[in-house]
Amino acid sequence: MADTQLIHEDVRTAICEYGRRLLEDDLTTGTGGNLSVRLDADRIAISPSGIPYEDVEPADVPVVDVDGTVVAGELEPSTELPMHLAVYEERPDVGGVVHTHSPYATTFASLGEPIPASHYLLSFTGSEVPVTEYRTHATEAIGEAAVDALGAEYNATLLRNHGVLTADESLEDAYTVALMVEYCARIHHQARAIGEPEILPDEEIDRLSRKIDDYGQ
């Protein structure tokens, strides 16, 4: 039997690295936020609960099955595990999920306002960043609310009075979306402080989304 400390070490290492980046990129504070990766049809790896990101080692990162049972790792998984599992269950296209408390986007979450496409980079998420109904954190209910807001067409949602959730094909992609959500939230906030932002039409966002999908080497 394989050493459980070595199961998917590369993925668990990536979760450690991106966890530290959450702090470096000002997407959360303290031990807030969490990240996960779909390993296969039956398991995900997710950041542990309540441990400073700089202290988390790959062997610490829990691997859990779809029932939430830990199958590798010594630490408890993030308390937001039910939310992550809900997204993976409803969105087979998703391979990575990132939850942040990034300040500008969370400001709009606290206002209960979606972030519209006042900047073209919002096309990383869809025509807007929608807002969930308010649900208590670390419950199945907040997972249901997140899934409802994401639907099939969005890669991000604001968790009302809480933070942000992004979901994409990989952890790297979901993290990029989290960065874009925070950037667009900041630009929209600043634009509103000066005047009335112009909002790009849905058809332009669709065109931009296709260009982003084709971008790169």
Per-residue pLDDT of 164-204, as tens digits, reads 999 999 999 999 999 999 999 999 999 999 999 999 999 99
Q: Which H/E stretch holds residue 165?
A: strand 163-168
116: helix, coil or strand?
strand
Pair 129, 115: CB distance under 8 Å: yes
> Which residues constitute the domain of residue 19?
4-214
Cross-strand partners of 77: 48
* CATH, residue 113: 3.40.225.10
| Pair of tokens at residue 55 | 């202290």
The catalytic position among 80, 89, 133, 153 is 80
Q: The tokens of 65 are what?
A: 């099955």
Cα dihedral 92→75→2→20 (10° resolution): 70
Q: Work out the percent of the chain whose per-residue pLDDT is above 90.
A: 92
Residue 128 annotated to the active site? no
Do 20 and 31 contact (CB within 8 A), yes or no? no
pLDDT score at 6: 58
User: Considering the entire predicted model, what is its pTM?
Assistant: 0.95
Mean pLDDT (the chain) is 95
> Which position has the token pair 């084709």?
214
pLDDT computed for residue 3 by the predictor: 45
CA separation for the pair 175, 124 (Å, rounded): 11
The distance between the two most distant Cα atoms of the chain, rounded to a whole number of Å, is 63
- Tell whether the model's pLDDT for residue 64 goes beyond 50: yes
Q: Given a cut of 60, is residue 214 above it in pLDDT?
A: yes
Mean pLDDT of 38-48: 97
How many structural domains comprise the chain? 1
